[in-house]
Structure 1
Amino acid sequence: MEITNFNFYKKKWKVLSETIIKPGLESIQQALDKLGNPQDKHRIIHVAGTNGKGSTIAFLSAIAKEHGISYGSFTSPCMVDVHDQIQLNGHNVTSEQMDRAFQKMQQAGLSEMLTDFELLTVTAFLVLEEEALDVIFIEAGMGGRFDSTNVMKKSITVIPSISVDHTNFLGDTIEEISWHKAGVLKENCKLVIGPLVGEARTVFIKEANEKSVSVIECERDFIIKNNTYTYCNIQFELLRPGMIGNHQLSNMALSITALLECGFSLEESKTQLAVGQASLSGRMEKIKEDIYFDGAHNQASIDALVETIIKHFPNKRIHFIIGILKDKDYVYMLRRLEEVGSSFEFVEFHHERSLSANELYKYCLHDDKFITKDIEKINIKNNLNNDVTIITGSLYFISEIRRKTGK
């Protein structure tokens, strides 16, 4: 899948890459060696796992900003275009910074060495290398062990959750998926983990022991209860995340713990303010009154979405606007959404792995359903009687709607 506006720089600087997924680290490590290994110039918090990566980085960024900690970040996928994937102190990378990175890659002879995501990862490290930053936050891509972000010598690793996703690449079981994700652990470094299911926790603890990694675990070493965070002799009260959903409490706690383990001193009042202001595009993102984007795209994130709807929107009719990738468990997703949905609108969107709206319509068991073939004809507006509209199914779908509608 083409990364929006990335081709502009590839063509301008004649640095070509393949638009495929090719797990493995040999090529990107060779490329980074040619550039002097920019990935090893800063302290890094590496966020991997299945769900919660983006939200965790949003909390990390908000807390860092409020405390005057200079930071950079690299996240996926883009929400509008490639520039929002690389940020410096919350600001998108500029075209001038992208040009400088591509000039270096051209001079190093990287053309045709890498895949698109590998090239983008190298670009991010080059951009971040230019700045005097206190810390950088890196979001792992699809996997972990063979993911192109897994190239730094040291990092604090954060794992918010593990669930079934990307089974065609990572395996069908929690154990197989966890093995891929646990590959991001670095020798003699630290691991901060959320409330993982038993099978996943077992895999991570085994990998941590083999690599002499210190494990700091949610609900064992640090806790978040009644909006109070406690870790060792530190206690922060009245922490109310700006992002809704019970799962955001653990993501928030992971972020606080990771920054503390990175050596930063945090203040209660500044942390309270930061977590309340933290937000993330496409994750229960409020577009206007009673209209939300939420990129739930697998079993765990759909479960979290349904739980959030039940808690925050009782007695309201829920209208879903849905676009899903065909390699997702869309039948499970539909069954869960049918538990809380009042009406369903299935949309065609332009992604090489998108599932047809006709197929979704066929599998949906709800009576109130219809198809919109042209994504530009989606009518995103308040429903009658203060009903709630939720656009969901895929972050790629949400990204396209955002570009088409300007939301």
Structure 2
Amino acid sequence: MEIKNFNKYKIKWNIESETVIKPGLETIQAALKKLGNPQDKHKIIHVAGTNGKGSTIAFLTALAKDHGLSYASFTSPSIVDVHDQIQINSIPVTEKQMDEAFSHMQQRGISGMLTDFELLTVVAFVVFEMMELDIVFIEAGMGGRLDSTNVTKDSVSIIPSISIDHTKFLGDTVEKISWHKAGILKPNSQLVIGPLVEPAKIIMYKEAEDKSANVLEYNKNFSIKKHQYTFKEYSFSNLYPQMLGRHQQSNMALAITALLISGFELIESSVQQAVNNASLPGRMERIGDNLYMDGAHNPASVDALVEMIREKFPNKHIHLVVGILKDKNYVYILRKLEEIASSFDFVNFQHERALNATVLYNICMNSEKSITLDASRVDLKQNFENCITIVTGSFYFIAELKEKTGI
């Protein structure tokens, strides 16, 4: 999968990388060694999991910002292009900073060693090394144990949730997937986990035992009750995240806990402000009156979306604009969305893995349905009374729709 606007830097600086996915750490560790191991300069919080990674990092960055910390983040996929995946104090990396990183990498001779995502991970660490930062937030690309982000000596680890996704690479059971996610845990460090299912939890505790590490579990060691966070001697009240959905309560709590155990002093008024300010493109992102975008692309995330719609928009006409990747469990996603949808518009979008909208149209059981052949022609202003329009299915679809419609 091509990372948008990444190739221009590769061409400019004559650095080659492969577009394939190759789980494993040996080659990226060799490349980072040539660069002086920039990944070891800063304090790091590493986030893996099936869903909730982006939201948890959104809470982490908001908390860091409202406590006056200097921070950076590396996330995926991009929303606009490669620049928004690497951010310093919530500002996308500049072309100048990218050029400086590529120039440094060219001098150290790492061309041809890496895949695209490994190269981008290295770029992020090189950019961050040039900065004086209090904390860096890293999101695993896929899995954890063999993911190119899993190259730091020490970090606090967060796993918000685990469910079935990326089965081709991670396995087809919760246990197999949990083994991959648990691999981000470092020896003698700390792991903060959300409300995981029991088989996943067992694997987390086993990994921690093997690595002499400590697990902090939501609703066991720390919790949110009646908008109040408690953990050991810490207590913060009146916490009202603007990000919609019940699962955001645990994501918020994970972020607060990870910063506390990383050694940062948090102030109640700043925590209150931060969780209210935290937002994330493509996660129930409010675009305008009665228009939202949410990249629900697997069973767990679509379950959360449907629950949130039921809770937030009862008795409303729900119009869903849908574009899905063909390697996702699109039948489950569609059946789940049918539970709350009044009408559908299935859209073709330009991605190598995009599912043809006709497939969705043909299997959809809802009588109110249509097809749009080009994302630039999507009608986002429905005229139904009390209508809520939600764009969903894939982050790549959302990104294209934003670009083509100028939202």
Query: What are the equivalent positions in structure 2 for 1:6-405 lying under 5 Å apart?
Result: 6-405=6-405
Spell out, residue by residue over 1:99-151, the C-alpha distance to the aligned partner (whole angstroms, 9 max, x if none): 00000111111111111100000000000111100000000011111100000
Q: 1: CA distance between counterparts of 2:169 and 2:363?
A: 25
Spell out, residue by residue over 1:305-363, the C-alpha distance to the aligned partner (whole angstroms, 9 max, x if none): 00000000011011111111111111111111000000111111111111111111122
| 1:289–1:382 contact (8 Å) kept in structure 2 | no
| 1:291–1:382 contact (8 Å) kept in structure 2 | no
After superposition, the CA RMSD in angstroms is 0.7
| 2:317–2:384 contact (8 Å) kept in structure 1 | no
Give SS of 2:385's match. Answer: helix
- Report the CA distance between 1:364 and its aligned residue: 1.1
- Consecutive unaligned residues of structure 1, counting only runs of 5 or more, are none
Task: Summarize the Cα distance change of 1:260–1:383 in structure 2 as closer, same or farther, 3 Å threshold.
Answer: farther
Could you list the structure 1 runs, at least 4 aligned residues long, displaced by more than 3 angstroms after superposition: none
- Report the CA distance between 1:196 and its aligned residue: 0.4
| 2:357–2:371 contact (8 Å) kept in structure 1 | yes
Q: 2: CA distance between counterparts of 1:336 and 1:262?
A: 39
| 1:295–1:394 contact (8 Å) kept in structure 2 | yes
Write the letter of the residue equivalent to 2:180.
H
Task: Summarize the Cα distance change of 1:382–1:68 in structure 2 as closer, same or farther, 3 Å threshold.
Answer: farther
Write the letter of the residue equivalent to 1:116.
D
Q: 2: CA distance between counterparts of 1:382 and 1:345?
A: 11
- Report the CA distance between 1:381 and its aligned residue: 2.0
Q: Percent identity?
A: 63
Write the letter of the residue equivalent to 2:221.
D
| 2:290–2:387 contact (8 Å) kept in structure 1 | yes
Q: 2: CA distance between counterparts of 1:45 and 1:383?
A: 45
- Report the CA distance between 1:382 and its aligned residue: 4.6
TM-score by length of 1: 0.99
TM-score by length of 2: 0.99
Q: 1: CA distance between counterparts of 2:404 and 2:114?
A: 30
Q: 2: CA distance between counterparts of 1:213 and 1:152?
A: 16
Write the letter of the residue equivalent to 2:44.
I
Spell out, residue by residue over 1:277-301, the C-alpha distance to the aligned partner (whole angstroms, 9 max, x if none): 1000000000001100100011110
Q: 2: CA distance between counterparts of 1:283 and 1:246?
A: 13
- Report the CA distance between 1:399 and its aligned residue: 1.1
Q: 2: CA distance between counterparts of 1:19 and 1:383?
A: 43
- Report the CA distance between 1:383 and its aligned residue: 3.5
- Report the CA distance between 1:268 and its aligned residue: 0.6
Write the letter of the residue equivalent to 1:311.
E
- Consecutive unaligned residues of structure 2, counting only runs of 5 or more, are none
Write the letter of the residue equivalent to 2:282.
G
Write the letter of the residue equivalent to 2:220.
R
